[in-house]
């Protein structure tokens, strides 16, 4: 018998009184229909009270509370077989293990002696078998300082307010990407906001970029697939990274490592897809005719976005489903209603090119180092510089860098890359002992080891970097040093900034000639004009006319107009400007101020 309400219980107790099993019904002060808290305080269902209740069975026999109860976790522990109504049905599914042993279960760490145990206990007793193959034991969610959340401490986060503000996907991605599910999580709301901006915002902006130009060109992915070998190198690289990502994602999902999945997908989207492929391919989308190279660029970016929506869908089901639908709504090749109903991606080894990946990784490293040197000197990326110097250790490294030098020059905005076979006469390196590492390793001999390291010559330092190991002699004993035992830096030289990282040295020429300065002014103006077009709601294809006032800063009036005229063709091409005009006074213009430039600008549709 199941009692579903206090009203039912009172009714059944009256039947018991009528049968003579109970002298009187309990809870006589309870008023039916009154849902107030005060009324329900008249009902007490604790054991000592319930033991006084005797009900009438369908066969009109007395029923009392069962005194001997099995642990309530038994119900949950029996779940694997109970859900199939075993042993009354589906005996073949259960006894042949087809639907009995779960691939994995997940619950809080506090269930170790509850659900986790009873599942195995019942399966072991009945079937002499385990109940599940894997268990994800979830850790606790703590505050950002690692303390347990509580209302008393005032550090509890309202889950409903957080969901309303950030959405479930950003929270789920933050929680899974920030810590393994079995570890305790220090929950910081600022981290959720960062995930929303850096990952979901970047992915959304990448899709927005794609959809903007795809709609302009009428791309719907109906064209014949451009063969891999006929695509640009950067297309082949991102597709190689994509299939490497697919491979890693499948492996990590199968090994119950969702944190590794989230981090790998996020890195691919933010660093490879957005920060490298899209930025370096931008001109391919908005310049030139609708030819094979542009179609290949569209197909490559479409494939990446579609695949990411599938790979990330188990962690961010709502955002990825919308992304999938937006991508496939005009593409008859995939009529699947939802990303959760489509097939999971499979990697193809023919797409993976590790040599190309390593080559592009080198380009990214050099570009990152050069950009950090720019930042150190506060030189904007729009300001062209003349060259960077890179010492190479062998012909293989030279060929590797030469193959991607155009990408590096474009990304760093330099005119040339100079590769040095012998940089000893130009770049001077310093080597210092890493005492934090050497101390625990050598103890009292550390001072002698440090003295030997400090005496290494430039040739020996170069050899050390090249071979990533070096032998020294202490008291007639040979000792092998590793790169983490030392710190190697390259001295700055006059007019240059130098950085050494991951066995790679980059020297950046920071001298800005008048011609470079003028080109930098032109690039900055292009940026200002493009922002004005965007903020004014101009269409991407609108032609414009640009008017500048004579520079208001007297000391730079002459070079500003000269900078524009020397780079006029470039400015017109980039901004779709028919004319660039200079006037003495411009009343209705927008103020343009940067570096030594101070002027006004007026942009109108042609």
Decide if pLDDT at 437 tops 80: yes
Q: Does residue 422 form part of some domain?
A: no
Left if phi > 0, otherwise alpha if psi is -120 to 50, otherwise beta: which for 42? alpha
Q: State how beta strands 414-420 and 385-391 pair.
A: parallel
One domain, residues 110 and 240: no
pLDDT band with cut points at 50, 70 and 90 for residue 560: confident
Q: Does residue 280 form part of some domain?
A: yes
One domain, residues 199 and 318: yes
Q: Where does a domain end: 31, 63, 95?
A: 63
One domain, residues 207 and 331: yes
Residue 326 maps to which CATH number? Answer: 1.10.730.10
One domain, residues 578 and 434: no
Decide if pLDDT at 261 tops 90: yes
Q: Under a CB-based contact definition with an 8 Å cutoff, are residues 380 and 389 in contact?
A: no
Residue-level pLDDT at 287: 78
Residue-level pLDDT at 465: 80
Residue 537 maps to which CATH number? Answer: 3.30.2320
One domain, residues 130 and 20: no
Tell me the pLDDT tens digit for each residue of 125-160. Answer: 988 989 999 888 888 899 899 898 888 888 888 999
Residue-level pLDDT at 332: 60
One domain, residues 235 and 334: yes
H-assigned helices in 179-201: 189-195
Residue-level pLDDT at 424: 60
Decide if pLDDT at 17 tops 80: yes
Q: Does residue 406 form part of some domain?
A: no
One domain, residues 202 and 271: yes
Work out the percent of the chain whose per-residue pLDDT is above 90. Answer: 55
Tell me the pLDDT tens digit for each residue of 307-359. Answer: 999 999 999 999 999 999 999 988 766 778 999 999 999 999 999 999 999 99
One domain, residues 35 and 78: no
How many folded domains does the chain comprise? 5
Decide if pLDDT at 390 tops 70: yes
Tell me the pLDDT tens digit for each residue of 34-75. Answer: 999 999 999 998 888 999 999 999 999 999 988 777 777 888
Q: Does residue 165 form part of some domain?
A: no
**Where does residue 24 rank: exposed (0-12), middle (13-18), buried (19+ CB within 10 A)?**
exposed
Q: Does residue 144 form part of some domain?
A: no
> Which residue range is the domain that position 552 belongs to?
514-605
Listed residue (383, 374, 382, 405) closest to 392, CA to CA:
405
One domain, residues 212 and 315: yes
Q: Cα–Cα distance between 360 and 235 in angstroms, integer? A: 12
Q: Under a CB-based contact definition with an 8 Å cutoff, are residues 144 and 174 in contact?
A: no
Laid out side by side, the sheet with 414-420 consists of 414-420, 385-391, 504-509, 496-501
Mean per-residue pLDDT for 471-491?
A: 86
Give the dihedral sign, CA 184/190/195/200. Answer: positive
Q: Does residue 388 form part of some domain?
A: no
Q: Does residue 366 form part of some domain?
A: no
Q: Where does a domain end: 16, 37, 63?
A: 63
Residue 469 maps to which CATH number? Answer: 3.30.720.200
One domain, residues 294 and 204: yes
One domain, residues 318 and 197: yes
Tell me the three-class secondary structure of 469-491, residue by residue: EEEEEECCEEEEEEHHHEEEEEC
Q: Does residue 371 form part of some domain?
A: no
One domain, residues 210 and 282: yes
């Amino acid at each position: 018998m199941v009692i579903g309400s206090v009203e039912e219980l009172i009714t059944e107790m009256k039947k018991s009184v009528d049968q003579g099993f109970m002298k009187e019904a309990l809870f006589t002060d309870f008023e039916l229909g009154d849902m107030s808290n005060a009324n329900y305080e008249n009902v007490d269902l604790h054991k000592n009270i319930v033991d006084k209740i005797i009900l009438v069975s369908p066969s009109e026999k007395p029923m009392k509370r069962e005194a001997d109860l099995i642990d309530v976790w038994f119900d949950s522990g029996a779940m694997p077989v109970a859900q199939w109504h075993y042993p009354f049905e589906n005996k073949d599914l259960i006894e042949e293990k087809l639907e009995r042993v779960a691939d994995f279960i997940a619950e809080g760490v506090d269930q170790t002696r509850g659900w986790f145990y009873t599942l195995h206990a019942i399966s072991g007793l009945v079937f002499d078998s385990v109940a599940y193959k894997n268990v994800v034991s979830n850790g606790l969610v703590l505050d950002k300082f690692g303390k347990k959340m509580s209302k008393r401490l005032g550090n509890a986060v309202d889950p409903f307010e957080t969901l309303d503000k950030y959405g479930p996907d950003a929270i789920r991605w933050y929680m899974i990407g920030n810590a393994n599910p079995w570890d305790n999580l220090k929950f910081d709301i600022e981290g959720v906001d960062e995930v929303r901006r850096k990952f979901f915002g970047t992915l959304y902006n990448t899709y927005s970029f794609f959809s903007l130009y795809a709609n302009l060109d009428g791309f719907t992915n109906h064209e014949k697939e451009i063969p891999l070998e006929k695509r640009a190198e950067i297309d082949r690289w991102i597709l190689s990274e994509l299939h490497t990502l697919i491979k890693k994602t499948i492996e990590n999902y199968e090994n119950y490592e969702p944190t590794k999945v989230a981090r790998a997908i996020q890195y691919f989207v933010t660093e490879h897809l957005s920060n490298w492929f899209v930025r370096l391919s931008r001109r391919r989308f908005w310049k030139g005719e609708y030819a094979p190279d542009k179609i290949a660029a569209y197909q490559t970016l479409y494939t990446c976005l579609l695949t990411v929506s599938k790979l990330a869908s188990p962690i961010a089901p709502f955002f990825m489903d919308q992304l999938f639908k937006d991508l496939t709504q005009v593409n008859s090749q995939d009529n699947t209603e939802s990303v959760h109903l489509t097939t999971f991606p499979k990697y193809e080894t023919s797409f993976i090119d590790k040599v190309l990946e390593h080559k592009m990784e080198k380009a990214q490293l050099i570009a990152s180092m050069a950009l950090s040197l720019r930042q150190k000197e506060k030189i904007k990326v729009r300001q062209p510089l003349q060259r960077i110097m890179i010492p190479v250790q062998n012909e293989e490294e030279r060929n590797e860098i030469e193959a991607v030098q155009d990408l590096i020059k474009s990304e760093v905005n330099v005119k040339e890359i100079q590769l040095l076979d012998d940089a000893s006469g130009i770049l001077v390196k310093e080597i210092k002992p890493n005492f934090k590492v050497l101390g625990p390793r050598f103890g009292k001999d550390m001072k002698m080891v440090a003295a030997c390291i400090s005496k290494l010559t430039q040739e020996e330092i170069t050899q050390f970097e090249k071979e990533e190991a070096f032998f020294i002699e202490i008291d007639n004993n040979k000792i092998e040093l590793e790169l983490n035992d030392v710190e190697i830096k390259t001295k700055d030289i006059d007019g240059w900034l130098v950085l050494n990282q991951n066995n790679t040295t980059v020297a950046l020429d920071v001298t800005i000639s008048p011609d470079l300065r003028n080109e930098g002014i032109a690039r900055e103006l292009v940026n200002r004009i493009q922002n004005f077009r965007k903020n004014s709601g101009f269409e991407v294809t609108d032609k414009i006319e640009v008017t500048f006032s004579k520079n208001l800063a007297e000391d730079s009036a002459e070079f500003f107009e000269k900078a524009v005229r020397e780079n006029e063709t470039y400015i017109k091409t980039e901004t779709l400007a028919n004319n660039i005009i200079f006037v003495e006074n411009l009343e209705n213009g927008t103020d343009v101020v940067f570096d030594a430039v101070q002027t006004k600008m007026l942009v109108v549709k042609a």
